[in-house]
A and B are shown apart, each in its own frame.
Chain A
């Protein structure tokens, strides 16, 4: 049982109201419970999405959607996510969640914030960025570095434009492989870290992306004088139960599902340094 008396194993029926393609293999779904509105969530939390008879996948919450719904952005990589990619709006999916701790919005208050996103890592960061935009006066400088493989892989282009234009957020976008006419940067996100000119005394950083990208980003941030305790990461591991029973998500002594997925780097056992932990 959950604290509210519901069973954490039993998915609740939600309807997919809209499904939109973002890139060649990424799509976003707006969804809401059949009854009532989506339960409140914290930026950085995730749900377990269930396609009847196919299986369940852990997917971060990427934001609010109209009329009490939420947004999920998914990359089609395997058995379940490829089926989800094909469903029609109106389909009912099972949802368990929200799970996990989420980004440290309170700790970030009053600080300059550096956000580094790699690829789909922007999906769980989007609700945090929207939060910062909404409570902009409570935070100092906000810088985002966002990297993707190629320009066609960039997510949320209208949001990116709005954040820069209306929300006093500085954003640097970089790609590994540029197409002709690409106006942004080329290369790994780590190369852009020095250009932010951050003040280590008042900056906190949040990072989300593939594990290697996070490892090198942490190093780059430390080169700028940041302490391990000023850096937060969102970790990914295989997940099945999401509530601390199944053991698949262990990382050292942490349950990524229950104690994470967000960890302050100095508290992350083995600190991404020990391979195969």
Chain B
């Protein structure tokens, strides 16, 4: 009988996992190199992975470079997150047809089955956070819930930390501890190139049992543990979350907000790369003759003026008030609203901010100002 305990799959045989998933009707999506960045897209086989590519990140900086090795997952997170599949940047909520009794409404088609491969621990946490946002309250977002149900998750434990990563501070990584079906740890050195494969759910155990690979040995586990521990010890950044709600709520009028607003260009990049930001605009797009309409939901950013439009004007006119709103909501308001921080420590907002504004630095400065006598 096939075992479903942790197995050791030679890295070159990752296609066996692709096959097992595709046989189950999943479209496999994962990291892929495109236009100088590692993005998430459909993958036919492991050959589509950015094999041998690594990334270099910093505030306002991102580069990919070939590392001269065969690493499958030798990079951290890029500009995109799995949010683009679960909460797409643009979707139709329903279609309506003008009719005899006003209008008739038809719901959208059912979502596809997708297997996510290469999900990092911080991203698992981000998905768990969005689950709370869209399905944890009294009103469940049926579109999100339907898509979410069709997802199979293959996580990857990080073997390297990026310069803008701080998952250890946010308690979200670098090891995938829950919320996955399968988790991979890439063991790559001069002697070997293997994947340690562990199951995190019944669905994962079923797929694992099908993989024709030997059980992992104690030495493999030790090597994987050492790798993840080394990653944890090399975090690019840190964020001190002590009493973070009191810090942010209590310093709403700190001069620091004006100082950051002098650099912030209110572009909203931070909100679109953030894997948990969930704000949206809902708009009706109507045919020219007015007979049909589609209710469209698109990502919105709290950095725009129109975001808080009211008959009496915008609620947040200044850039400082918008940056304050974003950061305060992300790190404090979320805890009140959803019982969890909105930040998972992925560092995307630092990397993709054109002027390179770094929230860990902003929080440290706010804290230093607040502690001044």
Contacts and interface: CB of A to CB of B under 8 A. Distances in A.
A13 B139 contact: no
Interface stretch (B50-58, B163-171, B199-207, B311-319): B311-319
Given A9-B295, A248-B307, A277-B252, A258 B278 contact: no
Contact of B102 (A34, A252, A253): A34
Contacts of A2: 138-139
Main secondary structure of the interface of A (DSSP, over half): loop
A210 interface: yes
B62 interface: no
A243 B135 CA distance: 11
B14 interface: no
A246 interface: yes
A246 B94 contact: no
B133 A245 contact: yes
B138 A3 contact: yes
B280 A92 contact: no
Contacts of B98: 52-53
Contact of B105 (A10, A243, A252): A10
Contacts of A240: 280-282
A245 B134 contact: yes
B361 interface: no
A246 B141 contact: no
Contacts of A78: 311
The contact size tier of chain A is: 35 or more
Interface string B265-308: 00000000000001111111010001001010000101000011
A7 B307 CA distance: 24
Interface stretch (B121-129, B147-155, B230-238, B325-333): B325-333
Interface string B57-93: 0000000000000000000000000000000000001
B356 interface: no
A248 B102 contact: no
Interface stretch (A132-140, A216-224, A268-276): A268-276
B140 to A, nearest CB: 5
Given A9-B295, A13-B101, A53 B318 contact: no
A213 B98 CA distance: 42
The contact size tier of chain B is: 35 or more
Contact of B284 (A54, A91, A237, A250): A54
B253 A274 contact: yes
Interface in B131-147: 133-134, 137-143, 145
A94 B282 CA distance: 15
Contact of B93 (A9, A53, A93, A269): A9
B291 to A, nearest CB: 9
A240 B139 CA distance: 15
Contact of A13 (B102, B142, B293, B307): B102
A10 B94 contact: yes
B317 A276 contact: yes
B335 to A, nearest CB: 8
A81 to B, nearest CB: 9
A270 B312 CA distance: 20
Interface string A216-241: 00000000000000000000111011
Contact of B321 (A244, A269, A277): A277
A8 interface: yes
Given A1-B142, A246-B280, A247-B280, A52 B103 contact: yes
A15 B101 CA distance: 9
A248 B252 contact: no
B307 to A, nearest CB: 6
Contacts of B329: 250, 253
Interface of A: 1-3, 7-11, 13, 15, 34, 52-56, 75, 77-78, 91-94, 210-211, 236-238, 240-241, 243-248, 250, 252-253, 255, 258, 269-270, 274-277
Given A1-B139, A10-B107, A247-B279, 13 more contacts: A1-B142, A9-B143, A15-B102, A34-B101, A34-B102, A52-B96, A54-B286, A210-B312, A243-B139, A246-B280, A253-B333, A269-B249, A270-B252
